[in-house]
Amino acid sequence: MASVCFYFQVHQPFRLRHYTVFDHSPRYFDEFKNASICRKVANKCYLPANRLLLDVIRRFEGRFKISYSLTGVILEQFRKYCPEVMSTFDALAETGCVEFLGETYYHSLSFLYSYEEFTEQINKHTDLICRLYGQTPRVFRNTELIYSNALAETIEKMGRFDAIITEGADHILGCRSSNFVYRPPNCSHIKLLLKNYSLSDDIAFRFGNRQWSEYPLTADKFASWVNRANGNGQCVNLFMDYETFGEHQWEDTGIFSFMNHLPEEVLKHPDNNFMTPSEVADTYEPVGVVDVPHIISWADLERDLSAWLGNAMQSNALHEIYEIEKHIKQTHNEELIADWRRLQTSDHFYYMCTKYFSDGDVHKYFNPYESPYDSYINFMNVVSNLRERCQQLFLPHKREPLSKIS
């Protein structure tokens, strides 16, 4: 049996506007840029991909299934900038063949810094998904598939989730295959679904690469690779950014027609089927324990945190943000808290990454700044202002000196 399990990550950050030390306005985000990027990606990716997948789901009458992880910040942007995308997701939800996963509302790295903030963001996200799609997420994916044993324990304690999705990194699996369900140590209930990074990246990164020896990748060729897991695996987990369709791989690479034909080719083999992550977790029993004492992620070659926490600027910026958590929350000012939380989105720290030399292209492509230094300066100027605002709101109530945060 090989159950193909698709999960697509849908996310766009609230990008900051150019903010110098001389700015004092409490408007931090670049409305114009965010709106235009959101609309551009909607037209190139979200709308055509949703329409296509809706069509495929209807055509296969329940035999083709997929899952999405929509961050709170992208849903806010859809509502604000392109509501038509919302209705296509509604239609997908109504088919019953689409599962929505749980994650931190702000696509944040809060797990690394604040347990309280981490759980609050998951709850906020769960509420939103429930309200919009009538599903309570049963499978959790952390920002950028950041994962460790500690995360599994935290999520198990929350009691709502049956499985966690993370990267099938070689160094955690050893010689084992990602095509099985595993269990974290010290957990009794929660299961692990690991990304088959080789097959996922064939679609997400290599699909349109003419230098690739397997180019062009056709649906039947890919289906034959999936079939290899038959008899030697339970599931093939294809996890990728949704922007793969139309944005990272442009339409003229044939990515849409590939997806259009893939279900048919996969289902030609009688033992294959499609499942959502929670169905995989329900169907298969764990075959072993995967021990991840050190944090992993799905980024770059290193599969670690270095894309967000690889230099002094990044660790300083993250530290500054979480250092003011208590004071921000004490203000009970919703606008201030929302601004602070939007600053937690991992992308802000990704932009400060200085690892140019090995996989610089990817980093540069998604970076709205000319350099990581510019992004750090901008971010820190915003944080300074946020701190001042916090202080101003705080001081009238209590005369307590804010030496810690000034």
Partner 1 sequence: MRVFMLGWEFPPFISGGLGTACYGLTKAMNDLGMEIIFVLPKPVETHSATHVKMLSPLQCQAAASTSGSQTTLQAREQEFPNVTFRSVPSPLEAYATPQYYQQKIEGIIREKTVQAATEKGVEPAIQQWLGRAEEYVHIPHDQYSGDMYSEIHRYAAYAVRLAMRENFDVIHAHDWMTYPAGIAVAAVTGKPLVVHVHSTEFDRSGEHVNQMVYDIERRGMHAASKIIAVSYLTRNIIISRYGVLGEKVEVVYNGVEQNGDNRQAFTRVGISSNEKIVLFLGRITMQKGPEYFLMAARKVLEEIENVKFVMAGSGDMMHRIIEMAAQMGIGHKVLFTGFLRGHDVEKVYQMADLYVMPSVSEPFGIAPLEALNHDVPVLISKQSGVSEVLTHVLKVDFWDVNEMANKIIAVLKYPPLQLTLREHGNFEVRRLRWSGAAEKCRKVYERMLQPA
CB of 384 to partner 1, least distance (A): 8
Residue 22 in contact with partner 1, rule: CB under 8 A: yes
- Choices 19-27, 31-39, 117-125, 132-140; region in contact with partner 1 by CB under 8 A: 19-27
Residue 361 in contact with partner 1, rule: CB under 8 A: no
DSSP conformational letter for 14: -
Beta-carbon contacts of 291 under 8 Å, excluding residues fewer than 6 positions away, are 149, 172, 184, 185
For residue 44 the two structure tokens come to: 């190139």
Rg (CA), the chain: 21
CB of 341 to partner 1, least distance (A): 22
CB of 18 to partner 1, least distance (A): 8
DSSP string, 104-159: -TT-B-GGGT-HHHHHHHHHHHHHHHHHHHS----EEE-GGG-B-HHHHHHHHHH-
Q: What are phi and psi of 85, to 5 degrees?
A: -65, -35
The answer to whether the beta carbons of residues 11 and 348 sit under 8 Å apart is no
Q: Which of residues 363-402 bind partner 1 (CB under 8 A)?
A: 370-371, 373-374, 376-377, 380-381
Q: 276: phi > 0 → left, psi -120 to 50 → alpha, else beta; which?
A: beta
How many amino acids of this chain bind partner 1 (CB under 8 A)? 19
- Whichever of 196 and 375 has its CB closer to partner 1, that residue is 375
Residue 354 in contact with partner 1, rule: CB under 8 A: yes
Of 3, 4, 6, 2, residue with least CA distance to 204: 6
144 is catalytic: yes
Tell me how far CA of residue 381 lies from CA of 110, 351, 388, in angstroms: 21, 15, 11
Please identify which of the residues 144, 167, 265, 279 carries the catalytic annotation. Answer: 144
CB of 312 to partner 1, least distance (A): 4
Beta-carbon contacts of 279 under 8 Å, excluding residues fewer than 6 positions away, are 3, 65, 99
CB of 372 to partner 1, least distance (A): 8
- Whichever of 160 and 364 has its CB closer to partner 1, that residue is 364
DSSP conformational letter for 249: B
Neighbours of 246 (CB within 10 A): 23
**CA end-to-end distance (rounded Å), the chain:** 60
- Whichever of 21 and 289 has its CB closer to partner 1, that residue is 21
- Whichever of 287 and 377 has its CB closer to partner 1, that residue is 377
Query: Cα 399 from chain centroid?
Result: 41
Q: Which of residues 157-196 bind partner 1 (CB under 8 A)?
A: none
Q: What are phi and psi of 98, to 5 degrees?
A: -125, 130
CB of 370 to partner 1, least distance (A): 7
- Whichever of 91 and 380 has its CB closer to partner 1, that residue is 380
Residues 289-328, mask of contacts with partner 1 (x by CB under 8 A) = ----------------------xxx-xxx-----------
- Whichever of 362 and 380 has its CB closer to partner 1, that residue is 380
How far is it, in rounded angstroms, from Cα 48 to Cα 61?
20
CB of 403 to partner 1, least distance (A): 18
- Whichever of 151 and 305 has its CB closer to partner 1, that residue is 305
How far is it, in rounded angstroms, from Cα 73 to Cα 146?
18
Summarize as ranges the residues that interact with partner 1 (CB under 8 A): 20-22, 311-313, 315-317, 354, 356, 370-371, 373-374, 376-377, 380-381
Catalytic residue list: 144
